[in-house]
Structure 1
Amino acid sequence: MLLAGGAGRRMGRPKALVELDGEPLVRRALRVLAEGGCAPVVVVLGAEADAVRTLLPAGVEAVVADDWAEGMGASLRTGLAALEHTESAAALVHLVDLPGVTAAAVARLLAHGSPDALVRAAYAGRPGHPVLIGREHWAGVRSSAIGDAGARTYLAGHAALALVECGDVARPDDVDTPGQLARFR
């Protein structure tokens, strides 16, 4: 699942529409998810949903978080609700503004996929994204996903959370501003 619904206020436009090396961040992130083994792939839209939808490749399900302005929690709730109709054992949650995440990191997390999985990528031991959430945790995550915290509250209270080191195959740097995007390049 790709969360791509924010307005990108500090960027000056939705980050899903921002290009890096000629590729919109939304397409880059969706490509990484697919190459890493995610199927089905759901992208959660919000701000500028119609413009972002035109960039989506065939086979990607798009859902709109009508309450996207509330923050990442709204997008997470919408995405997990959309996955309820699938047979997916777990949802790998990725953010559109993390261009340094690679297919290798996605595949490494997916290897832990099970209905009771609760796995988070780590970079030099520090928790980051993506996050793998087993189906057994979806209801709890949805009920605790408020504002921009996403699943943070739920994850913090869980002893079952496992960290999987990904620093050797990915970078955790997000790109929230034009300056951060320039440094990433």
Structure 2
Amino acid sequence: MEALKEAIRRYGRHLGNGIIKVDAFLNHQIDPALIAACGQELARRFRHLEPTKVLTAEISGIGPALMTAYALGVPLVFARKHKPLTMGDDVFFATAPSHTKGGDVTLLVAADYLRPGDRVLIVDDFLATGATILALARLAQAAGARVVGIGAVIEKRFEGGRDRLRSLNVPIESLAVVTGVEGDRILLE
């Protein structure tokens, strides 16, 4: 997606340690037109797999996952990082290390929203190490659901996440691929 690549070139910043800041359009301030286009493109790439739910992690994945779910006409489920009082005790949870948080994050989904027979498309803002996406896959599997695909807005190919996800044996699609960084410059495929 050329518009996404242009936004990364224009607004993206490398903060060191592989952290790429794109909060001007993706995960703090959201460019609705761009993220809607990303959702449409992810939906186009995965529609043939007939997902029944889109799953993401709170909070940065919600924008692109919502737009993908909307384009597919299916519900969005997002894994929470903290259990609210309104969430019952019947939950699925998984832990993943967070590169940007500097520690482990627990992801929770109420059992009411992931069920056996669901065909789950995982969508996230970034595919980096793959740890968060693997945790989301474990949540879906614990519910008896089937992961049918993985979509990312931006993939940091140099962190090896795609290779870690191959064991899930599902299609993996990224809308923009960062191959590395040179100083402040973000290198795109």
**Which range, TM-score by smaller chain?**
0.3 to 0.5
Q: Larger % of strand: which?
A: 2
Please tell me whether Structure 1 or Structure 2 has the larger radius of gyration of its CA atoms: 2
Larger relative CO (CA 8 A, sep 6+): 1 or 2? 1
TM-score by length of 1: 0.38
